[in-house]
Structure 1
Amino acid sequence: MSPHTTRRWAWIHKWSSLVCTIFMLLLCLTGLPLIYHHEISHAMGYETEAPAMAADTPRANVDEVIAVAKALYPGKIMMYMSQEADEPNIWNLTLGDHPTDTNFKPVAIDARTAKVLAQHNFEDTFLGVMFHLHVDLYAGLWGKLFLGFMGLLLVVAIVSGVVLYAPFMRKLDFGTVRRDRAPRLKWLDMHNLLGIVTLVWALVVGATGMINTWADLLLKYWQFTEMAEMVAPYKNLPPPASLASMDDSMQRALAAEPGMKIGFVAFPGTPFTSAHHYGIFMRGDQALTSRLYKPVLVDAQTAQVTDNRELPWYLTALLISQPLHFGDYGGQAMKLLWALLDIATIIVLGSGLYLWLKRGAAAPAAAEAALPAAALEGLSK
């Protein structure tokens, strides 16, 4: 690689790293507790558990479950209801003043007895704060897009760091940390070593995080294309005067997709369906397929299935990227691996800041010339 090309890659690596590092540190710090969100919620008393009952205990009529939730909040309407893959005995319902209400009320109800189990509001918890700082900085769509741009800069920094790393390491064995040299040089070696070790993980998490920030835009695109096609016959019809039985609607959705389970239901007017339909999203029962959904549209007035089809590739890619980003689909071993790699990346980012702040200190010229080779967040240039 010519000196001119090296300088160009060094400039790209330097500024992509400098711009995104503070935000990447924030994302790594807030992402760490989110890896263990189930465990933390349980420890803090926010994880709702269904009472132990016989496996053959009959399930309550879903309409009764909805009636119990609406009795808690008279005047509010149903927005969503869902079940976690690992907790099928609890219905999680959200109610609001209108279909897109952001100040919604959550209710967890036993699917067998129709009794209220909890009314925890995730927004008010420690994990709720961590989630918003990690996802949108409390700035909605613009916050997501900004963090997505930071994720893009991270990917650029990783790629440029890899390009620069090989020539830098020609003079050293892999993994060398020159402990007998100046502290700054020792930190540079540690920075490069951890950077290259966490390279693949950081690239995967950075890329999937960037994809996740496009969720709102991808959903809007789906609404204006495939969803519009699915509900085209209802385009000029008035909203339904009354809503059909949700229990009947679910049974017909299950019959339309045998072998699948109900993941969540979007009520008329919410972003996942139309003003005339229940959007019943079916899922598989395996580690991966439980994260993938297939929409079944049910006429909210007649309870008849009107359309069901696979999600487009871009929403499937989004759904796959979400669990991969947090590492929460492979059990405790994968969570531990994700946590350790997250901590290593925090050290890489922190050491990069240290090297940048100490850049004015005396250092061997050769080391200074090699600084662009930091593999992830080389802020020492």
Structure 2
Amino acid sequence: MQRSTLKAWFLVHKWTSLVCTLFLLLLCLTGLPLVFWEEISHLTGADPEVEAAAPGAQPANIDVLVEKALAKYPGDVPLFFGWDDHSPSVYVNTGARPDTPPPEMHTAVLHQYTGEVLPAAQFNEGVMYFLYRLHTDVFVGLPGMLFLGAMALLFAVAIVSGLVLYGPFMRKLPFGTLRTGRSRRLAWLDLHNVLGVVTLGWAFVVGITGAINTLAGPLEQAWQAEQLGEFAARYQDRPRSAKLASLDAAVATARASEPDMVPAFVSFPGTGYSGNHHYGVFMHGDTPLTERLYRPVLIDAETGELTARPELPGYMTTLLLSQPLHFGDYGGMPLKILWALLDLLTIGVLVSGLYLWFKRGSTEARVTEIERSGLVGNGEAQA
């Protein structure tokens, strides 16, 4: 590689790494416990243990469950109703108005079969929610999400530039070599490169999918404006009904329209997911892949009749598929443990990179060090 080209790649790697490293440390440190959010919630009692349904028992009427949730929060209106895929429980999100933002919502958790209101913590409270907000938007909403997305893209550029920069020279050394007999800085450089190679593919995928996830809000708004706007336009002159059709019947209609899928959650009119006149029954599959791919079924909230089953656009499918790749929650505990180990190794890459920056020399000296780094192990030059 020409020295001028090497210097250019060095500067790209240096500045992309330097700008994003502290924020990536924040994301790695907060992301580690979030990988085990479900397990931590069970251990701390935030998610209650739910008794299995009695043999032959039938699920309670959904309308009755919603009424019980509203009785817990008088004055609220229903926003979302959802099913837990791992236990016989359901949740109902309520709020003061249909467009209540998530941080202001209330959540009631009920037994799907007995209708018992279960003692569960609010999803928007507690340490895990605090870590979640730090990880997703640093408590400033969409600007914070987009900023962290930009940092994730810089991280991806830093990974690629690091591979281009150090790859040709590290091939001259046996994998895993740490030249501790030379300078301390050289040993840290080797550690940085070895950990970088181990985490290379994983870190790149997690960085790119993390950047995609930060676009969830704008992508959902685009979908609502494009597809849902088309259906909402047909009802723009119709006033919102004061009395809604049976949600239990609406879900049954959605099930009949998509017999190979199961309902994941329902959005009520006015929440932004189904217009002002429809229930949005979001169906999904039951495999690790298809459970992330939703199919909205729009049910007229006044008449209870099926209105449409729009296909999700490609950008929404990409968003939904990126989420399990980012969180590693589609392969059970073994994959979560692997994600955690790779997260810890990535923290090692970031910390060693910071050390190398603090112990830096001039740019010319650093480029010379990189040029010679693959030769030192063979005794052809001195570091």
State TM-score, norm by structure 1: 0.93
Q: Which residue of 2 aligns with 1:93?
A: 92
CA contact (8 A) 2:42 2:49 kept: no
Q: What is the correspondence of 1:276-315 to structure 2 with a 5 Å cutoff?
A: 276-315=277-316
Stretch deviating more after TM superposition (168-177 or 270-279): 168-177
Matched residue, 2:25: 25
The answer as to whether partners of 2:6 and 2:367 remain within 8 angstroms in 1 is no
Say if 1:17 and 1:153, in contact at 8 Å, map to a contact too: yes
The answer as to whether partners of 1:10 and 1:372 remain within 8 angstroms in 2 is no
Distance 1:324 1:372, change over 3 A: farther
Rounded Cα–Cα distance in structure 2 between residues aligned with 1:281 and 1:35: 25
What is the CA–CA distance in structure 1 between the aligned matches of 2:11 and 2:20, rounded to whole Å?
Answer: 14
Higher relative contact order (CA 8 A, sep 6+): 1
- Matched residue of 1:123: which SS? coil
Query: Is the CA contact (8 Å cut-off) linking 2:95 and 2:105 kept in structure 1?
Result: yes
1:211 counterpart residue number? 212
CA contact (8 A) 2:232 2:276 kept: no
1:230, distance to aligned residue in structure 2 (A):
2.9
Deviation at 1:369, TM superposition (A): 2.9
The reply on whether 1:157 has 2:183 as its aligned counterpart is no
SS of 1:93's equivalent in the other structure is strand
Q: How do residues 117-196 of structure 1 correspond to structure 2 at under 5 angstroms?
A: 117-196=118-197
Aligned length in residues:
371
Q: Structure 2 matches for 1:1-381, cutoff 5 A?
A: 1-87=1-87, 89-102=88-101, 103-360=104-361, 369-370=369-370
2:47, 2:120 within 8 Å by CA — same for their partners in 1? no
Report the secondary structure of 1:122's partner residue. coil
Q: Structure 1 residue 305: deviation in Å?
A: 0.8
Give the conservation status (yes or no) of the 8 Å contact 1:14–1:372: no
**Alpha carbons 2:261, 2:286 under 8 Å: kept:** yes
Give 3-state SS (helix, strand or coil) of 1:54's partner.
coil
Which stretch shows the higher mean deviation, 292-301 or 49-58?
49-58
How far 1:360 moved relative to its partner? 5.0
Q: Output the CA distance in 2 between the equivalents of 1:158 and 1:133.
A: 23
In structure 2, distance between residues paired with 1:182 and 1:310 = 59
Distance in structure 2 (CA, Å) of the matches to 1:371 and 1:20 = 25
Local SS of the residue matching 2:273: coil
Check 1:368–1:5 CA distance in 2 against 1; reply closer, same or farther (3 A cut).
Answer: closer
| 3-state SS in 2 of match to 1:231 | helix
Deviation of 1:365 after TM superposition, in Å, equals 5.1
Pick which of 20-29 and 304-313 moved more. 304-313
Amino acid at match of 1:33: P
Question: 1:48, 1:108 within 8 Å by CA — same for their partners in 2?
Answer: no
Alpha-carbon contact 1:80-1:267 (below 8 Å) kept: yes
Whether the 8 Å contact between 1:152 and 1:206 is mirrored in structure 2 is yes
The letter of the residue matching 1:42 is H
Question: C-alpha deviations, 1:136-186, integer Å up to 9, x for none?
Answer: 000100000000000110111111111112232254233211021222111
- Amino acid of the residue matched to residue 273 of structure 1? S
Question: Which has the larger displacement, 172-181 or 253-262?
Answer: 172-181
Please tell me the residue identity of whatever aligns with 1:10: F
Tell me if the contact between 1:244 and 1:302 (Cα under 8 Å) persists in the aligned partners: yes
Q: 1:372 to 1:154 in 2, by over 3 A?
A: farther
What letter is aligned with 2:199?
T
Q: Which amino acid aligns with 2:63?
A: D
How far off its partner does 1:5 sit?
Answer: 1.5
Gaps of 5+ in 2: 374-383
Q: 1:324 to 1:277 in 2, by over 3 A?
A: same
Q: How far does residue 54 in structure 1 lie from its aligned partner after superposition?
A: 2.1
Q: Deviations over 1:175-209 (max 9, x none)?
A: 21102122211111010000011000000000000
8 A contact 1:185–1:367 mirrored in 2: no
8 Å Cα contact 2:152/2:207 also seen in 1: yes
Contact 1:164-1:372 at 8 Å conserved across structures? no
Query: Is the partner of 1:234 in helix, strand or coil?
Result: coil
Q: Which residue number corresponds to residue 378 of structure 1?
A: none
Structure 1: give runs of 5+ residues left out of the alignment. Answer: 374-381
SS at match of 2:38: helix
User: 1: CA distance between counterparts of 2:224 and 2:372?
Assistant: 44
Q: Give the AA of the match of 1:299.
A: D
Q: What are the Cα deviations for residues 233-273 of structure 1, in whole angstroms up to 9, with x where unaligned?
A: 11222111211110111110111111211100111111211
Greater shift, 204-213 or 100-109, is seen at 100-109
Q: Distance in 2 between matches of 1:339 and 1:371?
A: 34
Deviations 1:12-46 (A, max 9, x none): 11100000000000000000001111111111111
RMSD between aligned residues: 1.9
2:381 maps to which residue?
none
Local SS of the residue matching 2:234: helix
